[in-house]
């Protein structure tokens, strides 16, 4: 689907008798990010999945500015309009969760309920944002130099050593997940990180209290950083509730798929 500056790669499985969920993957993910969860949810829900800019087979036809959150959000809304999707549920993981929250706050008319997995409203202060931009630029430089796959694989191994990911490397399907991540183009991921990283996005903390849509916040028990962030979010946003998921770090839908599905189904159907 081409909206002037994008050629979005997406897959729509629509059934008029089933409510529809839009899934937004995280950094280094792709259109297949939620495949395992969708296997369980497809009995009750239709779904729309897509590759976000810098990921998978989606192409950015405009300048690097179009990797940013604001035009990306507009592209998602344009896709919903083009597909004649009036109202839907929304799920976003990590980077996709930050985008999902932006969509919720700026385009609330499109969404019924929203689930944010390991997501944040960005950074509150200019100093925090500048420091994060500096750090992300260093990471992006390493990505851009990953010309050969072995370099990219080494980058991924280091990435998943971060404390927020808990024990993800012990997961029996970890190698399969890495294979999926390796399908991305490191040079495109570089642009995504530099233009849609946490430091670059607009802070959404100030708008949280305006939200009127029911939001389910999911955080893994091993992800102390996002438990803290999400707890603070619930104190600001009266329509947000937090569930801490056992046996999971940052990537809940991968590490504990059944608990993820159970919470999503219960929240969207209740």
CATH of the domain at 21: 3.40.50.1820
What is the C-alpha separation between 204 and 98, in angstroms, rounded? 9
Q: How many domains does the chain have?
A: 1
Between 186-196 and 95-106, two packed helices, what is the crossing angle to 10 degrees?
Answer: 40
**Local confidence band at 119 (pLDDT 50, 70, 90 cut-offs):** very high
Q: Quick check: is 160 in a domain? A: yes
Q: Quick check: is 1 in a domain? A: no
Residues 72/107, Cβ–Cβ less than 8 Å: no
Report the pLDDT value the prediction gives residue 150, as an integer from 0 to 100.
Answer: 76
User: pTM surpassing 0.75?
Assistant: yes
Residues 103/132, Cβ–Cβ less than 8 Å: no
Other beta carbons less than 10 A from residue 249's beta carbon: 26
Q: What is the span of the domain harbouring residue 23? A: 6-269
Report the pLDDT value the prediction gives residue 3, as an integer from 0 to 100.
Answer: 56
Q: Identify which has the larger pLDDT, 148 or 23.
A: 23
Share of the chain above pLDDT 90, in %: 92
The arithmetic mean of pLDDT across residues 112-141, rounded, is 94
Q: Quick check: is 186 in a domain? A: yes
- Residue 234 Cα to chain centre, angstroms: 19
pLDDT at 152 over 70: yes
pLDDT at 2 over 60: no
Residues 186/155, Cβ–Cβ less than 8 Å: yes
Q: Quick check: is 245 in a domain? A: yes
Q: What share of the chain is helix, strand, coil (3-state, %, to 5)?
A: 50, 15, 35
């Amino acid at each position: 689907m081409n909206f002037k500056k994008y050629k979005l790669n997406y897959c729509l499985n629509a059934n008029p008798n089933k409510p529809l969920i839009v899934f937004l993957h995280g950094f280094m993910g792709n259109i297949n990010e939620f495949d395992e969860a969708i296997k369980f949810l497809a009995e009750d829900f239709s779904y729309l999945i897509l590759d976000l800019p810098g990921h998978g087979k989606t192409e950015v036809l405009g300048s690097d500015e179009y990797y940013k959150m604001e035009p990306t959000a507009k592209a998602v809304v344009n896709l919903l309009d083009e597909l004649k999707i009036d109202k839907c549920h929304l799920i976003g993981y990590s980077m996709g969760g930050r985008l999902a929250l932006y969509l919720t706050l700026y385009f609330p008319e499109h969404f019924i309920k929203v689930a944010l997995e390991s997501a944040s409203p960005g950074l509150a202060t200019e100093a925090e944002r500048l420091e994060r931009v500096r750090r992300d630029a260093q990471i992006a430089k390493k990505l851009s130099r990953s010309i050969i796959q072995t370099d990219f694989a080494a980058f991924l191994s280091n990435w998943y050593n971060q404390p927020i990911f808990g024990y993800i490397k012990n997961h029996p399907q970890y190698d399969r997940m890495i294979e999926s991540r390796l399908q991305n183009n490191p040079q495109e991921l570089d642009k995504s990180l530099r233009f849609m990283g946490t430091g670059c996005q607009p802070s959404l903390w100030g708008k949280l209290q305006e939200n009127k849509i029911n939001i389910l916040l999911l955080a893994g028990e091993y992800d102390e950083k996002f438990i803290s962030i999400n707890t603070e979010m619930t104190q600001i946003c009266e329509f947000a509730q937090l569930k801490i998921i056992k046996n999971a770090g940052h990537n809940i839908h991968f590490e504990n798929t059944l608990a993820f599905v159970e919470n999503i189904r219960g929240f969207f159907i209740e």
